[in-house]
Structure 1
Amino acid sequence: MNVRGIRGAITVEANEKDLILNATLELTHKIVAENGIVPEDIACVFITVTNDIDDAFPASAVRQLEGWELVPLMCSLEVPVKGSLERCIRFMVLVNTDKSQAEIKHVYLGGAKALRPDLANA
């Protein structure tokens, strides 16, 4: 078994708590479904947000999911590069898996598809 990274990102229309939490849940569910993982397999999740998202901690949404209570979650700010995608939540999920790197399915939703169009349409 290896530790693999699964990338994901989603954008929100506005800096509003419900939008942030719902988008976080949508991204979490899609990453889990696409990769067939369960919380017990997850080593940790790093979550970053752009500096225009400060109305909620995305991790608080994930923490409410059944089975996710013990998964280590960490939120931080994304590097604020001029002209970069706004209102974006990014995930790096480190998971214990037998899948090869090529079998991992990264998930880009909403406006975040622009970050990695090569992976978003895979």
Structure 2
Amino acid sequence: MKSWFKQMIDAVVHGQLVHGHLKPSNILFVAKDHLKLCTRGMKPEQGSGDVNNEATLYMSPEQRPVLPYTSNSDVFSLGLILVELCLVMTPTVRSEIFENYRSGLQCELIQDARTVFSPIEKYF
């Protein structure tokens, strides 16, 4: 997973295009270890916030109030996607955690490491 995310970060930072609405369904495997970003309507660097985006869940903070954004906005969105891949969350918890990140709040994703596996362990 580390090499996949390095590919995505490299693509948005060095590609000189702002995707503007990254979401998991816009990341495709085109070969065993090669990913590609896809979408319609990619914008040049320093794009305006007027992108019609249905995937607001993964938007960076500056995209929500429709401010200008850069490739850093896409890096933020990729970070949210990485969090979603690494943690098991309900949609409600995911929305809360993502909103906290957008607001600059620290998120305690695992409150007590001793209880993380206890619900699963009772089945084994």
What TM-score, normalized to structure 1?
A: 0.28
- Comparing both structures, which one devotes a greater share of its residues to strand? 1
Q: Which has the larger radius of gyration?
A: 2
- Comparing both structures, which one devotes a greater share of its residues to helix? 2
Bigger RCO of structures 1 and 2 (CA < 8 A, at least 6 apart): 1
